[in-house]
Chains A and B, each alone.
Chain A
């Protein structure tokens, strides 16, 4: 009671501070909701609009120019993406068939009934499920292609994943620019539209593959998922939010043994784990990177394990070190 003024002042300051914090929390929640809403609208726009454009894709210190075509007619999506430079690889989705053409390897990969995801950016359908691992926020507005774009950031809450930034066109909701930023704050991959046209329809010729496949000399591969119970890879530990989404087997050229492949994802990033039996020395791949993709190789008995994905190096190492190999069930 000796300092009633200070007591009253302190209470007032505490109340004001509380109000301010609550206001900030509400504002943060509001901007997070707006960011998620815009990302959801972006996914819908990529699916339901017909458009074509040229995209510059940059990774490490390289640039590739790609043409992208996307049509949406009567609820059916058709897509084609083609590299403008040699070796002119292209990917075409037509109805329920996805085909990837690799003229340099004379190979075409065909997948029936592929999932319906965008050629440009894939995000989980329910962003709320990933709020434990990521924070969504709005940035400022900038002009891309003379269009006003809203910046949206997806920031990881731990250091096992990368940050992502989108520039979303306010009118069409298409992503005009995208960046993948590593744990050091460096941009490791970027895509930016250098031209983009929204169309009423896309000519059929632009949605068809231009690569001619000679079935006599080309290899045609099909991918079929296998039941997880058959896999020999067991994960002792995974970063929070990562789960297994695919197990399959491949035949690698020059190898007598099948290659086991498990795909993991946290909804935004994906990590592949390969298990291959080796007769001789292992082939360490740790030094190889591609944009944000990091690789970790480990020898386990007669097996080599390789972990790669668009996550920091510490993540692929931690996943690799937590792997055990056991005999699959018969």
Chain B
């Protein structure tokens, strides 16, 4: 029985369950700490392997990532034709994202280590969207409304030239589904 549920967790991550089974399993995950732990572990590993997504399961992780960023090779280059000193480093655009994943995977802990409350964890969009499915409709509605308002605020503020910093950084990076 337990083995079946673990297999289903794996199938859920591979998107192999139908909607009814997925919702049923997510309900079980919400109420079963052991299953929740497995789900987070599998999901974290899956995300780290499959993508450049950021998985943050520790409150102080961001500081560690900031430190990692500070250690990243600095890259600044100017056109050769300007005649100015040029510092060109052979790195690729995803270097930061890759390093972030590496740091994240190293410091990932089990839910029990962070207080065991999945709701307090910060996860990436993949994790978040799955969590949303298990949230009460009211919470989903509030969050969807907030994100709709926020997106609209950022778009309008940018187009009117009134948003100070990285106006569209917020637009392209806000953390949950809009609707």
Which residues of chain B are within 8 angstroms of A189 by Cβ–Cβ distance? 165-166
Which residues of chain A are within 8 angstroms of B177 by Cβ–Cβ distance? 104-105
Interface residues as binary, B89-124 with A (CB distance below 8 Å gives 1, 0 otherwise): 101011111001000000000000000000000101
Which residues of chain A are within 8 angstroms of B17 by Cβ–Cβ distance? none
B78 in contact (CB, < 8 A) = yes
Interface residues as binary, A244-256 with B (CB distance below 8 Å gives 1, 0 otherwise): 0110101011000
Query: Residue of A at shortest CB range from B144?
Result: A253
Bound form: Cα–Cα A104–B96 in Å: 23
Q: Is the CB of A81 within 8 A of B168?
A: yes
Interface residues as binary, A49-81 with B (CB distance below 8 Å gives 1, 0 otherwise): 000011111111111111100000000000001
Which residues of chain A are within 8 angstroms of B69 by Cβ–Cβ distance? 56, 192, 194
B173 in contact (CB, < 8 A) = yes
Interface residues as binary, B154-165 with A (CB distance below 8 Å gives 1, 0 otherwise): 011111111111
Bound form: Cα–Cα A59–B175 in Å: 10
Q: Is the CB of B173 within 8 A of A197?
A: no
Query: Residue of A at shortest CB range from B97?
Result: A65
Q: Give the shortest distance, in Å, between B46 (CB) and chain A (any CB).
A: 13
Q: Is the CB of B179 within 8 A of A120?
A: no
Q: Is the CB of B76 within 8 A of A146?
A: yes
Q: Is the CB of B149 within 8 A of A85?
A: no
Residues in A249-285 with C-beta less than 8 Å from chain B? 250, 252-253, 261, 263, 265, 267-270, 272, 274, 283-285
Q: Is the CB of B171 within 8 A of A89?
A: yes
Interface residues as binary, B122-150 with A (CB distance below 8 Å gives 1, 0 otherwise): 10111000000000001001111110111
Interface residues as binary, A159-199 with B (CB distance below 8 Å gives 1, 0 otherwise): 00000100000011000001010000000010111111111
B77 in contact (CB, < 8 A) = yes
Bound form: Cα–Cα A56–B67 in Å: 13
Q: Is the CB of B75 within 8 A of A195?
A: yes
Q: Is the CB of A197 within 8 A of B149?
A: no
On whether A263 and B59 interact (CB within 8 A), knowing A81-B172, A84-B52, the answer reads no
Q: Give the shortest distance, in Å, between A104 (CB) and chain B (any CB).
A: 6
Bound form: Cα–Cα A158–B69 in Å: 33
- Kindly identify which residue among B142, B150, B159, B169 contacts A66, using a CB–CB cutoff of 8 Å: B169
Q: Is the CB of B169 within 8 A of A122?
A: no
- Kindly identify which residue among B62, B124, B174 contacts A58, using a CB–CB cutoff of 8 Å: B62
On whether A119 and B159 interact (CB within 8 A), knowing A261-B152, A272-B153, A308-B153, the answer reads no
On whether A84 and B94 interact (CB within 8 A), knowing A89-B171, A91-B172, the answer reads yes
Q: Give the shortest distance, in Å, between B85 (CB) and chain A (any CB).
A: 9
- Kindly identify which residue among B84, B97, B149, B155 contacts A306, using a CB–CB cutoff of 8 Å: B149
A217 in contact (CB, < 8 A) = no
B56 in contact (CB, < 8 A) = yes
Q: Is the CB of B157 within 8 A of A263?
A: yes
On whether A253 and B148 interact (CB within 8 A), knowing A178-B165, A246-B160, A263-B160, the answer reads yes
Known: A91-B168, A121-B166. 19 other contacts (CB 8 A): A54-B93, A61-B122, A63-B62, A64-B54, A64-B169, A81-B172, A83-B172, A84-B94, A90-B172, A91-B172, A117-B158, A118-B167, A119-B168, A146-B76, A192-B69, A198-B79, A223-B155, A223-B156, A270-B157
For this complex, 17 residue pairs linking A to B, each with C-beta atoms less than 8 Å apart, are A54-B75, A55-B166, A61-B62, A63-B54, A85-B97, A91-B172, A117-B158, A119-B168, A122-B162, A164-B164, A178-B165, A194-B95, A196-B77, A248-B156, A261-B156, A291-B170, A293-B170
